[in-house]
Structure 1
Amino acid sequence: MAFKSEVRDTIINSLLEKARERNYGKYLPRLTLRNLRGFKDEPISFDFPVTALIGPNGGGKTTVLGAAGIIYRDIPPRMFFAKSGKYDAGMQDWSIEYEVTDRENSPKAAVQRTASFKSLKWNRDAMSREVLVFGVSRTVPASERKELLRCTARKFVVPDSRVTALSESAATAISRVLGKDVSGFRQLKIAQNLDVTLLTGRTKADVEYSEFHFGAGESSVIRMISAIEAAGENAIVLIEEIENGLHPVATIRLVEYLIDAANRKKVQVIFTTHSNEALLPLPDKAVWAMTSDKAFQGKLDVKSLRAITGQIETDSVIFVEDAFAKIWIESILRCGDLPADHFEVHPMAGDGTAVAMNRYHNKNPSIKVPSLCFIDGDSKQHENEQEKVYRLPGESPEAYIFDQCMEKWSEIGGKLAVTMLQKFEDNEKVEEICRTVRTTNHDPHLLFAQVGEKLGLVPAQTVAQAFCAQWAQSNPQIVAEFLTKLKGES
């Protein structure tokens, strides 16, 4: 079943417009890594107030996260870019350029700033903004945190004056993310002169228990959301590996909360992740893929990063626009004389991203596995045989496959019905449903989902795979033309 976020499209579109118009008191719209670690003149734009950075280990996610933070006074550069004596000689001449919105100091125009590492120190004209940083250490269990050891004493207690309940807004948001009622949870300041707290929870039977019996992800969510709710408007929030310690459903809900916070409190959030679930509620412009020396904007499956960076065990990679094109190409491979397992097909969630990834992959001298790219018939990208970019037939892939199969229903209808989990003898009934759906359909991308619904909630992917498989089997000449393009890469 396709994912449906609980964040309304109107909110997503409103936030995209707000970022585009720079309609914030404080906001970081853009930075450029002029010379930082492996990046050379690499621009990163924050076109949505909640941005996800994905990539392999060492790909540069934390580099961008840290670069976003150090232009602000609250974040010392050593927090992300510490120098260790002679062992970090390569830091010399690192440089980051910024475009910053700060209505207090520049009501009309964006402010230009630079942070650079020269003469063995960081030089920056830092700006004022509230910054919240949540590193991976937030998921260290309470029992392993030295600052909480005093709380394990048998007679540990704190005065009521240092005990606070969670705010109503924080408790509501935390309860939704964790799927449990936290209205009875509290924070204990363990010493008057220390900014260290211990959390306590409460069972349904009204029994109190300490953070030493929390899950690490549970503590992390409570502390993050409490801090964000306590922050003022226009703060920037930096989160390392947002999914750490969380169930996939909780990860989705946490990202949805961050979008809600961006809408209510005008906060800007940048987080790193290895989780596909963390990307689901976000629009394409909110995702950047890092590959150690390049950055690509657009949503894609995290698993596809292995292909982009050459971390694969296959003969060739095929980049396509979306999940349907992946199904189509894989159906073609299964009908040919090439070993299908010698190819990996990766959907990129957009034609521009697919073409860019293919170009980067083939130009990277460290990657030995070649790649191709297939764009949809209605793509505005151009075919380029030299760069191995080819176009799929038909204006709309879904409509093309659907119509081609319907034209041959008398030949393939029975098999098509069976592969859609229907009885062979019911193929006339299935045909009638398919033709009715085609007549009433306004969006070809929904054709297979609509047919599946009419057939008794058959998954859209199952219907799409059935149509693609039958199309491939009944069009050997077109399949042969596709395979000709692939044979040089196997």
Structure 2
Amino acid sequence: MRQLRVEGGPGLRGIPQVVVSFHYPLTIVCGRNGVGKSTVLGLAALSARPPADWRVYWGNARPRTQPDARTRYAFNDFFHRRRGAPALEGLRLTWVLMDRGNEVEIVDRFEDGRWRGVADPGRHRRAGERPAREIDFIPMARVLPASELGALRAAFNRDAVEAVEPLTEESIGKLSYIMGRPYTQAETQFVRGLGLASATSGVAYTGFDMGGGESSVIVLLSRLQAMPIGGLVVIEEIELGLHAEAQIRLISVLLEFCTERRLQIICTSHSETVIDAVPRRARVLLRRHGGEHEAMAHVSTRFAVHEMAGQVQPELLIYTEDAFAAMLVEEAIAGPMRPRIAIKDVGSNATLARQSVAHLRMNPQLKALSVYDGDCTEAEVEGWVRGERGERVLNPDSLILPGDGRPPEAWLLGELAGEYRDQFCAELACTPAIADGHVQAMSVRPDHHDSGFELAQRTGLAPDQARRMIIRAVARTHPALDPLRARISDLLDAQ
């Protein structure tokens, strides 16, 4: 599965529209409560049509009279609709899948009280049918203590064991690695479709005597070893019941299954340990802004964790010479990257070099970029840095703003006098003649730092508001600032 989409109608579980892409065989979906993580898992489990001989995992939370009758999951298994609930009329669900080397779109639309497949014009009428694929959904209920499940106690107290699914020798080795102690045997025993884990690690014991984390790992390994090549495993809250080291080792094992068995695994997690244990391509952060939902890919651990905590912390610190340059950088990168960075003005160009070297000495774990004014040269920057670092090998990241040898204020005034005059007019809501008059008045100031003050005097704006209008008219779209945007993007996306 490459992508899933929700759109149209009333939305689903309060999500009017969202697009979630999967870029890696193992995907960790994270985010605050209520942003749609469980919705993504449920839709993932509905993405394909399991073969007729496949029996999906059902767990112990819902005892069944016919435990082997269910071969697939249905919409109501994940999205229960009580009587009187708002209609789903117009809701459209899309899955983008790779099937035998071809990308296909499966689209379902809720119309006239039922789900209908949406045909793809110009393709064979069966092209929109779900391809066959083995799927397992493993819910949080896997960590429920066996001793607290009345149906499980009754079944294993009264009836004989009907079936046993032992872990293979290889899976027992993985179990020992994850839990950090040796096992010689582990299996799941079944009575009327209800499963009870048992294991031998020095002594033999069952799920009635083991913690939820240990039992959940046995469940996961049992299902993973049974999953055919190319299958999909969907796991709710992967870290439940496991300490940090076990979480790291479990993720390592899941990655091995993805590689060796070509499985796709999609999990949810709130654990910093789990998020940090996978590459950026494996991370999807779900966010909600008012009524809108967003799926961010390739996020850093720091950004994801602090987003969930409600206190976003910067992944990148940008140093500039003064507040004007800081404002220029801020306006140049307005958008999704902005919450991921902090900008600080520190003083002169030599002070900026001193701060960049000090940052590497004192806080190397936080990435930093020093942005020099356009009246500096590469040779000057290297000289300042060399004087600060001495003989130590410290190479701070740096970049020089555009300017052709001029400071930012003078460069911006030159652009406003040329092809960016119309944008300046739009910012001030004035005529071109009035804009030209403002630019001329600012340009004849002896000190270019006074340009914002001059515009404030002529328009009645606050000085900072006037400076921001000067900057915004140019910075949002000027191609000379593309290297700055690209460098920031590269630093944010680097592993």
Aligned mates of 1:45, 1:197 — CA distance in 2:
34
Matches within 5 A, 1:442-461: none
1:156-195 residue pairs with structure 2 within 5 A? 158=161, 162-163=163-164, 165-190=166-191, 194-195=192-193
1:141 aligns with 2:163: no
1:19-418 to 2 correspondences below 5 Å: 28-35=1-8, 36-37=11-12, 38-73=14-49, 74-89=72-87, 91-103=88-100, 107=101, 109-124=102-117, 125-150=129-154, 153=157, 158=161, 162-163=163-164, 165-190=166-191, 194-204=192-202, 207-292=203-288, 293-300=293-300, 301=302, 302-306=304-308, 311=310, 320-322=314-316, 325=317, 355-356=335-336, 358=338, 373-374=341-342, 401-403=355-357
User: Is this contact kept in 1: 2:30–2:270, CA < 8 A?
Assistant: yes
* Alpha carbons 1:117, 1:123 under 8 Å: kept: yes
| Aligned residues between the structures | 325
Give the match for residue 366 of structure 2. none
Deviation, structure 1 residue 433: 13
SS in 1 for 2:185: coil
Partner of 2:379: none
The 8 Å contact of residues 279 and 299 in structure 1, kept in 2 or not, is answered as no
Report what 1:480 is aligned to: none
Task: Using the TM superposition, give the Cα deviation of residue 40 of structure 1 relative to its aligned residue in structure 2, in angstroms.
Answer: 4.3
Give, in whole Å, the separation in 2 of the partners of 1:80 and 1:93: 19
CA distance in 1 between partners of 2:90 and 2:46 (Å): 16
Larger Rg: 2
Query: For 2:197 and 2:359, how far apart are their aligned partners in 1?
Result: 61
Q: CA deviation at 1:269?
A: 0.8
Kindly indicate whether the alpha-carbon contact (under 8 Å) linking 1:241 and 1:273 is maintained by their aligned counterparts in 2.
yes
Tell me the secondary structure at the aligned position of residue 237 of structure 1: strand
Task: Provide the secondary structure at the position in 2 that maps to 1:220.
Answer: helix
Does structure 1 conserve the Cα–Cα contact (< 8 Å) formed by 2:29 and 2:284? yes
Cα pair 2:92 2:110 within 8 Å, conserved: yes
Q: Quote the Cα distance in structure 1 between the aligned partners of 2:262 and 2:234.
A: 15
**Which secondary structure does the structure 2 equivalent of 1:356 belong to?**
coil
TM-score (norm 2): 0.57
Partner of 1:381: none
Query: 1:186/1:373 Cα in 2 relative to 1: closer, same or farther (>3 Å)?
Result: closer
**Pairwise CA RMSD of aligned residues?**
4.0
Q: Distance in 2 between matches of 1:80 and 1:294?
A: 21
What displacement does 1:68 show? 1.8
Q: Please, which runs of 5 or more residues in structure 1 have no aligned partner?
A: 1-27, 333-350, 359-370, 376-389, 407-412, 417-430, 446-483, 486-490
Q: What is the CA–CA distance in structure 2 between the aligned matches of 1:394 and 1:265, rounded to whole Å? A: 57
Deviations 1:211-235 (A, max 9, x none): 1001001100111111101110011
Whichever residue aligns with residue 7 of structure 2, its letter is: R
Matches within 5 A, 1:443-482: none
TM-score scaled by structure 1?
A: 0.58
**Distance in structure 1 (CA, Å) of the matches to 2:4 and 2:99:** 15
AA partner of residue 238 (structure 1)? V
Deviations along 1:336-382, one digit per CA (max 9) or x if unpaired, are: xxxxxxxxxxxxxxx99x94164xxxxxxxxxxxx79437xxxxxxx
Q: Percent same amino acid among aligned pairs?
A: 25
Going from structure 1 to structure 2, the CA distance change for 1:111 and 1:400 (only over 3 Å counts) comes to farther
